[in-house]
């Protein structure tokens, strides 16, 4: 699909603009294809996608570490393609922290200020403020090797913020942390963004991270933004099968569009008729992929309660504390997942039994056939 180009009105509303930006490393293959993306001041925009999708390349072009092959990148309406990285006034946080091991924490934070020829008193004041911001007030005299991974990442974030940049770029900054610390840092960065009114462009392949932190998410695949939307819209209203499969857990069913009635359509799956929302289909008689979220399914629905009721075979049940994950063989898909809340009185299912599953038409999205 084409990349969205405008979201917030007039161009002057944006801090960052990519206009028809392309990138090729070999002069032949485009790793970024006609990128048009606008970032408003104060937004937290995440570039999300699998490895090789073009997201990190876009961030590196914005930072100035990679030149754009074609197109123009603007910062506050100023073209910056020919502006060197150190003159763009952009804060940067990397996955490997990139701290100077021979310097103390305070010296690491003071370095970008000293290169800007700030007075020593101002440097000291800004360094202390940045340390306070990330709750490391007492760690200024330590070296990076004397800090935990989470503390080092806080220092890296503080260094990116210490000179009050208009824009902060973060490239997989939490990738080296364990699960609990990673989740804690997600909230800390989110709260810093909200408290300071920062503009953040963030790169990750972790969809949970993107959903947790972002105002908007640009989902990349093959150098193209497949969808640009809020976390809620990406999850609830995916535009195509790639986005539906990449954002959250998703069930797919393959079928053929039998008829189209307004916003809905009837899909034939090997003789079984299913009602779906006609979101992105090629038309009557064409193949389609149905998208269904595991938590939007009913087990043993009452007759007439759902427009779609289909019988499936229970293959596996996994206890996950607050919910139970049940795998079915349904309409040719033996990886069809249903999530049910673990609560007193929940239905007991037996592996091997046939069980009716139901769903609403609006929860079943007919998308491209990929």
Quote the pLDDT of residue 116: 84
Q: Exposed, middle or buried, 101 (CB in 10 Å: 0-12/13-18/19+)? A: exposed
Domain 250-367 matching CATH 2.40.50.140: the answer reads yes
Residues of the chain with pLDDT under 50: 1-9
User: What pLDDT was estimated at residue 5?
Assistant: 36
Residue range 215-239, pLDDT digits in tens: 999 999 999 999 999 999 999 999 9
Q: What is the pLDDT of residue 205?
A: 93
Contact 369, 289 (CB under 8 A): yes
| DSSP line for 228-294 | EE-HHHHHHS-SSHHHHHHSS--EEEEEEEEEEETTEEEEEETTEEEEEEESS---TT-EEEEEE-G
Q: Find residue 231's DSSP bridge partners.
A: none
Q: Are 162 and 109 in contact (CB under 8 A)?
A: yes
Question: Looking at residue 345, what is its pLDDT?
Answer: 64
Stated pTM of the model: 0.89
CA distance 163 to 112: 7
What is the pLDDT at residue 12?
Answer: 52
CATH code given to domain 11-241: 3.40.50.300
Domain limits, the chain: 11-241, 250-367
Question: Do 250-367 and 11-241 fall under one CATH topology?
Answer: no
| Residue range 174-199, pLDDT digits in tens | 887 888 888 988 998 999 999 999 99
What integer pLDDT is reported at residue 8 of this predicted model? Answer: 42
- Residue 105: exposure state from Cβ atoms within 10 A (0-12, 13-18, ≥19): buried
């Amino acid at each position: 699909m084409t990349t969205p180009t405008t979201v917030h009105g007039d161009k002057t509303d944006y801090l960052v603009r990519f206009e028809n930006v392309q990138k090729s490393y070999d002069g032949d293959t485009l790793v970024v294809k006609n990128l048009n993306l606008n970032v408003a001041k104060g937004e937290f925009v995440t570039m999300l996608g699998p490895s090789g999708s073009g997201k990190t390349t876009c961030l590196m072009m914005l930072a100035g570490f990679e030149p754009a092959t074609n197109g123009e990148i603007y910062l506050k309406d100023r073209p910056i393609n020919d502006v060197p990285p150190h003159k763009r006034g952009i804060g940067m946080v990397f996955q490997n922290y990139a701290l100077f091991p021979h310097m103390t924490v305070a010296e690491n934070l003071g370095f970008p200020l000293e290169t800007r020829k700030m007075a020593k008193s101002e440097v000291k004041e800004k360094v202390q403020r940045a340390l306070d911001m990330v709750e490391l007030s007492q760690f200024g005299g330590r070296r990076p090797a004397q800090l935990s991974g989470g503390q080092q990442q806080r220092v890296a974030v503080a260094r990116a913020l210490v000179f009050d940049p208009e824009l902060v770029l973060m490239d997989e900054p939490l990738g080296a942390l364990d699960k609990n610390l990673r989740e804690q840092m997600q909230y800390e960065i989110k709260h810093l963004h909200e408290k300071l009114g920062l503009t953040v462009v963030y790169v990750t392949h972790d969809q949970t991270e993107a959903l947790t932190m972002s105002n908007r998410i640009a989902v990349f695949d093959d150098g193209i933004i497949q969808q640009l939307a809020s976390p809620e819209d990406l999850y609830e209203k995916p535009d195509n099968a790639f986005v539906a499969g990449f954002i959250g857990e998703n069930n797919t069913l393959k079928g053929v569009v039998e008829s189209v009635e307004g916003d809905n359509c009837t899909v034939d799956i090997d003789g079984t008729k299913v009602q779906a929302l006609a979101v992105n289909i090629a038309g009557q008689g064409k193949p389609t992929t149905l998208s269904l979220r595991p938590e939007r399914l009913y087990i043993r629905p009452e007759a007439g309660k759902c427009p779609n009721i289909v019988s499936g075979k229970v293959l596996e049940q996994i206890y996950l504390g607050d919910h139970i994950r049940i795998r079915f063989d349904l309409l040719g898909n033996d990886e069809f997942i249903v999530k049910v809340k673990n609560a007193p009185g929940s239905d007991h299912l037996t592996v091997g039994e046939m069980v009716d599953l139901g769903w609403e038409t609006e929860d079943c999205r007919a998308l491209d056939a990929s």
